[in-house]
Structure 1
Amino acid sequence: MPSRRSVPAPLAVAAVSVTAVVALGSSGVLSPWRSMLVDDVGQFLAGAAATLACWLTARRHTGAQRRWRLWMGTGTFGWLIGQFIWSWYQLFRDDALPSPSLADAGYLVLPVFALPALVALAADRLPHGGPRRRPGQLVMVLDGLIVVGALFVLTWSTSLGSVVRAGAASPFAYTVAIAYPVTDLLLTVIVILLIAGSASAANRWQLSVLGIGLLCLSFSDSVFAYLVSKGADNMPPLFNAGFIAGQALVAVAALTPADEHEPGRPGPHARWGHLLLPYVPVAGTGVLLIVQLVRGIPMDSVEITVETAVISLLIIRQAVTLVENAVLLDRVSDSQARLEHQAFHDALTGLSNRVLFHDRLDHALALHHRDGRPLAVLFCDLDDFKAVNDRFGHHAGDRLLRQVADRLRSSVRDGDTVARVGGDEFAVLLEGSDDPTRPAERIMAALLRPFDLGGTTVTVGASIGLVEAGEHGPVQSADALLRRADAAMYAGKRQGKGTLVRYRMDLPDGTGSSDLAELLASSLRDGHGLDVHYQPIVRLADGTVVAVEALARWTHPSLGPVPADVFIATAEEIGLIRLVDDFVLDRACRDAAAFRGPWAGIAVHVNTSAARLGRPEHEETVRAAVLRHGLQPHRLLLELTETVPLPDLGAAAGAVRRLGRFGVRFALDDFGTGYNALAQLHAMPVDEVKLDRSFAAAGGGRSEAICRSIVQICTGLGVTVVAEGIETDQQAMTMAALGCRYGQGHRYGRSGPLGQVAPTGALALEAGAEDTALADPVP
């Protein structure tokens, strides 16, 4: 579409042509007949141009853009026929054209077809755009008729009635005479209403050009009707300019494409003005009738008929408006319901989405806290769902998800909430269920049945995590309960998938939960609940305690004692293992420095994460703890745990040498099962190796052969060997026979507080020379 700041070429050509014809016909240079010829030919050519432009451009368009051009082209063609008849009589016949005549029929075709053309154009929408809010077409036509009727009454009562009655020789002539002003008035009002109410239409440029063209035609038509009623012999060419310009503008509108840019919406004042416009002229007719009644002027039949029609149209218009408003409210209500459903439900499966599930879980949790109502959550994740997408495509994956949703719904009660919370993750809210394992088992069984994916059968399993509110301490939020269910589900994944796992704090593989992580972080910040227990390390020959290992323990006020492997793994996952190690190191150094009697010189073993070894801040922490408590450095032995591989073996070896020169000794813990054990033994100058407990538990065969080889290697390197996990006398004798001099395990005492591990009587004895075998550095 042309810009509003530029003039399209068809409009410029039309303006020049109309100006030339009107100027030539009205100049007075030509004779009267030649002026008439120029004028009539100009009108005929303008009408032909409008007709051809509408019909030819209609072939290149579809929809409303095609319809309005066809309607308008038919109207201008009828006007063209009327103009031809009129010009023939005026130029080449001596007798006057009868009135009414076929020319009048041709002229009146134009407004009949222009009205639907205007309505079709105003109702058009952009092909790529959505529907826009406009007044209904029927209401728009009714508004036009109401305004036309009211204005007709006003003009008829003041001047038009006397003019028409004076010039009409018969009822038929009377009707034709009325038809011209009525149709002109109707088109004028419709054009004004459409332009005012369609300010946001994509084709408002077309509508404005077409509307102005019809206004030009109506203006010249009204002037012609007035001159005829006054008995004028002819119409000056200047006043015929409206016929030429009007048809030229119709051609310009047909040649103009629709605007492809989204225009702004009309403001509230324009909308209110459009709504109130029909009532203004109606109010004017009411005032006029009151004035006539006061002055005693009777209403004629035309006024009564038109006024009755106006009132009837006004009633119809109100009824139509009420119906449209009712329909609109229904649509708005339906749209709101659809939007609400879309906002809280999954589009693919129709299940509740995460938002709705979270809301219902919040409500259920509130009832649980208030009334103790049972509450459980199942968190379900399909096993190997990605393989279905990769093998059969995402369409098959979507079909599988819909079938899974159906089976989940059928496996639980109607009052339970089933939601899709992720790609292949589902959650089920069970309220008031005494035994939530039953619906969980039904779901497991339902999902194991084969799925039909359109000729292809697949079988998928699911890992389900189950958590009951209040089973492991109070749960304050829906997020916390979901995290517990999610942790249980992932524990099932680690166990081999296709499992149902009930949440507990000591989930296997150190899974735990984010709740446990938050509680542990809080305890580490304030130091509450953390403690250090000790387990003796003895000489296997006589069971004499030669050292103790410091072990972290955590007891939560509501959870009770938390297994060490669980909270240690959790601390490593959340990056707080440093705080645990530093807490145990400081407490162990403090306690070891206070040992008296037979324990006055024994060593204390402290676990430290191998991942921290080689970091400067770790070395400073070890030195500071030893110096702060006045502990002899050689009495501290750091055990390197191998739960994670060493990030830099060279840096770790350097740290061992530097701390070794300071006096601190090192041991490799759980030797034989960690990452690159022999490589670490070769690279780092450690003082001790602690054989993993699996060697003591296995006994005989290959295990003994491996254990004997390790002892021989360590003996050759001057490294002391300690056997862990000794629980029986037989295990102790076996490990001693293999060359291990020292051992540790439940056979010699479980870990416990310092007062239980070292009774008061034992601490009062004097230390013997052999009791400190691990206290002095190994040569």
Structure 2
Amino acid sequence: MSRRPVSVPLAVAVAGVFGAVGLGSSGLLGPWWSLFVDDLAQFSAGLAATLTCWLTARRHTGAQRRWRLWMGAGTCGWTIGQFIWSWYQLFRDDALPSPSLADAGYLTLPVFALPALIALAADRPVEGGPRRLAAQLVMVLDGLIVVGALFVLTWATSLGAVVRAGAATQFAYTVAIAYPVTDLLLTVIVILLLARSAAVNRRQLSILGVGLFCLSFSDSVFAYLVAAGADHMPPLADAGFIAGQALVAVAAATPTRETPATTATGKTLQPRESTDGEARPHHRWAHLLLPYVPVAGTGVLFMIQLAQGRRLDGFEIAVETAVISLLIIRQAVTLVENAVLLDRLSDSQARLSHQAFHDGLTELSNRVLFQDRLDHALALHHRDARPLAVLFLDLDDFKAVNDRYGHHAGDRLLRLVADRLRGAVREGDTIARVGGDEFAVLLEGGGDPGVPADRIMAALREPFDLDGATVTVAASVGLVEAGTHGPVHTADMLLRRADAAMYAGKRQGKGTLVRYRVDLPDGTGSSDLAEMLADTLRDGRGLDVHYQPIVRLNDGTVVAVEALARWTHPSLGPVSADMFIATAEEIGLIRLVDDFVLDRACRDAAAFRGPWASIAVHVNTSAARLGRPGHEETVRAAVLRHGLTPHRLLLELTETAPLPDLSAAAGAVRRLGRFGVRFALDDFGTGYNALAQLHAIPVDEVKLDRSFTVADGGRSEAICRSIVSICTGMGVTVVAEGIETDRQEAAMAALGCRYGQGHRYGLAGPLHEVAPPGALDPESTLV
């Protein structure tokens, strides 16, 4: 904001003060006319201050209006007192009329100036009500305490002796001390307000404070002259009266920063204001210690005077007693205010804590609080085997309610659902809203968790009234019990299981309750299965190798066995091979499974004796590993480590994804082939490019997928005949998979397939159950 509205009246006021004082003190006028000019200047200044305060008050509201009205009343009283004073001086020939009726007018100024100052300082964006009143009361008490202590100090050192010497009566004595006391009070209040006021009013307060200080200065000179018995007051000493009233008028004419300034480009410039909450730490300490410093000074002074044998007079004792009483009152008010603030802080913290851990719409626990309680319950489960279950609910077709009735109705539905959930579970159970229309329930009390789950689903099936519209919703619920499907290490793991069971229910038709299990449809539980499998592969426990025979079709002689990975989990029991193999491929651990089976198969085959001394062992390996670093070394190392003849190892290439580099795979097969290892294409006919692989990779066998070993005389038989014919022409042996009946065996033999594998010749099982008597080394640990 431009400073022109302040600088112009300020310049006029300064010029007026210097002109009046200079003219009255120049000696160009006679004594009476000099006195007349001096009194006229003081009266004019007071009248100007009064009119300016009242006229500018009409253009403002609130505190800006109130302080001008208060100050105008004070300057009006002062101006009346000045008129009376001038009458005594000019027409009754009383140079220093004191005490007189003029004192009553003069002393109205501090009476009205005090509320004006407080109103001006209160015009700022702070919390109102009792706290503002308490802050104003403390400020006034601080001012009175400081004034009283400083007055005692000045009285005991110099002022007391001067006043006692010059005061003829008790009334004159009282009037004489009233001026320095009120002046000192206003000065201290201004200092306190300047330290605590907002920047938006500091300019007005500073100008007003300087004006009151000028008035106080001349008042002090007047009191001293009266006490000293002087016969007149020089015009220069009255300059404070003129300047003080002129500055009051300037302060009233000074506008506040009500509107932010704007630049030429239209950009708003926000003033940098300092509020109480932004006070620096040393400023806050200064505010707290301010009333105690002068009081401590009076105590030191009294101790020195007592040590010197000087007795305290009654006035000093009375004032010091009043100061101490005010200090006690001030401390009591501060303690009460602090107690109120602490209560508010405690309430605020409680509200913030509730908001941080509860859902704002339903007042249920939120995900943070639910996670914390679930972590604690899981810790108790691990330590004391306490029962623990989690329900995960999702409202079916909740979006349809929002779309049809609006989000307000959807919010009401969520609140009603929360109420029914509270009524369906026990008091100690934790219910949380963990998503838009998703809820979770923590059950810790034991018993069958399916019972509260059924109560919840029954409660939700009852119609809801949404402001006249009847809505029926259902919920898909997933249930998981800790410890029933393998160890649960984290709360997230338990929540994932409950969530997986819930989504499995949605796929089954919604509105259902599904208990979690690892082999949920569509691999829903595979994330937990992956963690369990990873744990197993780290220590190797739970993995085993079973063997299935491969026979010659014309006589049923076992010519090879296929090594198959099997996994038995301590809690889950046997896990489907298709499921855990697929999981191992998804998480990138199939290499560990393949290497485990390879090493075990080489060890077992090296121990074959008697009728099995020369049979081969087939081991599955991912075709994608061919040509990868380390794979060929792993195969060679396993063969050499157990002393197996390389020709007896046949690697079946499984394909779950297109080979990234067919030529690199072919090169790896050739290199291992020169070492002696043989290869087969597994599940031939179902891969991404079976004929291309058969052409590019020099394999020794082809294992015909079970989908073609159907003795129906149709297309499958035609495809099977073509594959056998192609492989025979290439010198590649064909093994038919999935043979279960005599008819299939006869059909495959008739098509030219020499070897077969399937349940017709035995299920996969541990080696000691599959191998015939005498097939294993008696000293081997495999027997």
| TM-score clears 0.5 | yes
- SS of equivalent to 2:365: coil
Letter in 2 for 1:351: L
Alpha-carbon distance in 2 for matches of 1:35, 1:686: 131
Q: How does 1:58-69 map to 2 (within 5 A)?
A: 59=59, 66-68=62-64
Letter in 2 for 1:257: R
Alpha-carbon distance in 2 for matches of 1:631, 1:125: 95
Shift of 1:436: 0.6
Q: Which residue is equivalent to 1:759?
A: 772
Q: Which residue is equivalent to 1:344?
A: 357
Cα distance change of structure 1 residues 190 and 567 upon mapping to structure 2, 3 Å threshold: same
Aligned residues: 741
1:95 aligns with 2:110: no
Alpha-carbon distance in 1 for matches of 2:483, 2:190: 73
Contact 1:379 1:428 in 2 (8 A): yes
Which of 216, 221, 229 does residue 223 from structure 1 map onto? 221
Q: How does 1:649-728 map to 2 (within 5 A)?
A: 651-652=661-662, 654-656=664-666, 658-659=668-669, 662-663=672-673, 669-670=682-683, 690=703, 705-715=714-724, 717-718=726-727, 722-728=735-741
Letter in 1 for 2:289: G
Which of 373, 385, 390 does residue 360 from structure 1 map onto? 373
1:233 aligns with 2:232: yes
1:214 aligns with 2:199: no
1:607 aligns with 2:620: yes
Deviations, residues 104-144 of structure 1 (Å, cap 9, x unaligned): 66655543443234334444544899x99997222222333
Contact 1:463 1:498 in 2 (8 A): yes
Letter in 2 for 1:115: L
Cα distance change of structure 1 residues 553 and 56 upon mapping to structure 2, 3 Å threshold: farther
Q: Which residue is equivalent to 1:774?
A: none
Q: Which residue is equivalent to 1:503?
A: 516
Which of 379, 389, 392 does residue 376 from structure 1 map onto? 389
Shift of 1:412: 0.8
Shift of 1:328: 2.3
Cα distance change of structure 1 residues 155 and 418 upon mapping to structure 2, 3 Å threshold: same
Cα distance change of structure 1 residues 214 and 738 upon mapping to structure 2, 3 Å threshold: farther
Cα distance change of structure 1 residues 200 and 56 upon mapping to structure 2, 3 Å threshold: closer
Which of 572, 579, 590 does residue 585 from structure 2 map onto? 572
1:640 aligns with 2:654: yes
Q: Which residue is equivalent to 2:79?
A: 83
- Indicate the RMSD between aligned Cα atoms, in angstroms: 5.0
- SS of equivalent to 2:566: strand
- SS of equivalent to 1:760: coil
- SS of equivalent to 1:752: coil
Alpha-carbon distance in 1 for matches of 2:485, 2:666: 43
Shift of 1:759: 1.6
Cα distance change of structure 1 residues 763 and 369 upon mapping to structure 2, 3 Å threshold: closer
Contact 1:555 1:562 in 2 (8 A): yes
Alpha-carbon distance in 1 for matches of 2:193, 2:564: 87
Question: Which structure 2 segments of 5+ residues have no match?
Answer: 259-270, 778-783
Deviations, residues 730-765 of structure 1 (Å, cap 9, x unaligned): 66567767886654333321212223222234689x
Shift of 1:707: 2.4
Question: Which structure 1 segments of 5+ residues have no match?
Answer: 3-7, 765-779
Cα distance change of structure 1 residues 332 and 92 upon mapping to structure 2, 3 Å threshold: closer
Deviations, residues 139-171 of structure 1 (Å, cap 9, x unaligned): 222333344455556667774697499668896
Moved more, 737-746 or 156-165: 156-165
Which of 286, 290, 299 does residue 270 from structure 1 map onto? 286
Cα distance change of structure 1 residues 731 and 327 upon mapping to structure 2, 3 Å threshold: farther
Letter in 2 for 1:356: L
Letter in 2 for 1:440: A
Contact 1:726 1:743 in 2 (8 A): yes
Alpha-carbon distance in 1 for matches of 2:441, 2:365: 10
Cα distance change of structure 1 residues 19 and 125 upon mapping to structure 2, 3 Å threshold: closer
Shift of 1:233: 3.5
Q: Which residue is equivalent to 1:72?
A: 68
Q: Which residue is equivalent to 2:781?
A: none
Q: How does 1:513-528 map to 2 (within 5 A)?
A: 516-528=529-541
- SS of equivalent to 1:255: coil
Alpha-carbon distance in 2 for matches of 1:511, 1:491: 7
Q: Which residue is equivalent to 1:189?
A: 188
Moved more, 82-91 or 486-495: 82-91
Which of 23, 28, 31 does residue 31 from structure 1 map onto? 28
Alpha-carbon distance in 1 for matches of 2:213, 2:126: 29
Contact 1:37 1:91 in 2 (8 A): no
Q: Which residue is equivalent to 1:257?
A: 257
Shift of 1:67: 0.5
Q: Which residue is equivalent to 1:768?
A: none
Moved more, 572-581 or 20-29: 20-29
Q: Which residue is equivalent to 2:447?
A: 434
Cα distance change of structure 1 residues 715 and 214 upon mapping to structure 2, 3 Å threshold: farther
Alpha-carbon distance in 2 for matches of 1:549, 1:762: 16
Alpha-carbon distance in 2 for matches of 1:114, 1:675: 97
Contact 1:707 1:738 in 2 (8 A): no
Letter in 1 for 2:590: I
TM-score scaled to structure 1, two decimals? 0.77
1:414 aligns with 2:427: yes
Contact 2:476 2:513 in 1 (8 A): yes
Alpha-carbon distance in 2 for matches of 1:237, 1:547: 128
Contact 2:430 2:443 in 1 (8 A): yes
Contact 2:53 2:68 in 1 (8 A): no
Deviations, residues 63-109 of structure 1 (Å, cap 9, x unaligned): xxx51453135414651574388369849995259888897666555
Deviations, residues 526-576 of structure 1 (Å, cap 9, x unaligned): 433332211123345554434332211234456554432343233233321
Q: Which residue is equivalent to 1:140?
A: 139
- SS of equivalent to 1:587: helix
Shift of 1:435: 0.6
Shift of 1:187: 1.5
Cα distance change of structure 1 residues 272 and 376 upon mapping to structure 2, 3 Å threshold: same
Tell me the percent identity: 65
Alpha-carbon distance in 1 for matches of 2:39, 2:766: 120
- SS of equivalent to 2:562: strand
Contact 2:198 2:273 in 1 (8 A): no
Deviations, residues 563-615 of structure 1 (Å, cap 9, x unaligned): 32343233233321221122223333454466555545554433334554564
Alpha-carbon distance in 2 for matches of 1:578, 1:636: 17
Alpha-carbon distance in 2 for matches of 1:319, 1:715: 105
Deviations, residues 463-500 of structure 1 (Å, cap 9, x unaligned): 43323233345556545544544454455456565443
Alpha-carbon distance in 2 for matches of 1:748, 1:134: 98
Moved more, 675-684 or 324-333: 675-684
Contact 1:26 1:35 in 2 (8 A): no
Alpha-carbon distance in 1 for matches of 2:55, 2:744: 107
Contact 1:154 1:288 in 2 (8 A): no
Contact 1:147 1:281 in 2 (8 A): no
Deviations, residues 355-375 of structure 1 (Å, cap 9, x unaligned): 433443344345445554432
Shift of 1:205: 6.0
Alpha-carbon distance in 1 for matches of 2:82, 2:638: 118
Alpha-carbon distance in 2 for matches of 1:762, 1:372: 47
Alpha-carbon distance in 1 for matches of 2:126, 2:335: 30
Q: How does 1:438-587 map to 2 (within 5 A)?
A: 438-449=451-462, 461-472=474-485, 475=488, 478-489=491-502, 491-492=504-505, 498-512=511-525, 516-540=529-553, 542-556=555-569, 560-587=573-600
Alpha-carbon distance in 2 for matches of 1:34, 1:275: 44
Cα distance change of structure 1 residues 31 and 622 upon mapping to structure 2, 3 Å threshold: farther
Alpha-carbon distance in 2 for matches of 1:494, 1:689: 39
Contact 1:213 1:250 in 2 (8 A): no
Deviations, residues 209-250 of structure 1 (Å, cap 9, x unaligned): 543443333223333444456454344235424642564377
Letter in 1 for 2:374: L
Cα distance change of structure 1 residues 177 and 140 upon mapping to structure 2, 3 Å threshold: same
Alpha-carbon distance in 2 for matches of 1:545, 1:47: 128
Alpha-carbon distance in 1 for matches of 2:104, 2:704: 115
Cα distance change of structure 1 residues 221 and 294 upon mapping to structure 2, 3 Å threshold: closer
Cα distance change of structure 1 residues 531 and 15 upon mapping to structure 2, 3 Å threshold: same
Alpha-carbon distance in 2 for matches of 1:586, 1:387: 57
